[in-house]
Amino acid sequence: MPTISSFYGISIRMFFNDHVPPHFHVEYAEFKATVDILELTISSGKLPRRAQELVLDWAELHQNELLIDWHLCTAKQQPNPINPLV
């Protein structure tokens, strides 16, 4: 599962050949969540409120890049790194 971005202790990853809808996986400390790229919502799991806000803000800024990476991963190709939230 490639890591495509990391910021403030948050890791953003995607699986190769993962199921639809387009999404990415988030890990922060002991918390894990899945974020729907099209809806920009948490589809499963849980994050602390502040981490969730940071992740969703970052995802909104990079939604097009996330969709490109999603398509790369579904084709079993290495996704591009995406700039972290600063």
Kindly list the distances between the CA atom of residue 56 and the CA atoms of 15, 33, 74, 78, in Å, as whole numbers in the listed order: 19, 12, 22, 23
CA angle 62/8/22 to nearest 5° reads 35
Burial class (CB in 10 A: 0-12, 13-18, 19+), 81: middle
Q: How far apart are CA 1 and CA 31, in angstroms?
A: 17
pTM above 0.85, yes or no: yes
Tens of each residue's pLDDT in the chain, 86 residues:
799 999 999 999 999 988 899 999 999 999 999 999 999 999 999 999 999 999 999 999 999 999 999 999 999 999 999 999 98
Q: Where do the structural domains in the chain lie, given as residue ranges?
A: 3-74
Rg over CA atoms, the chain: 11
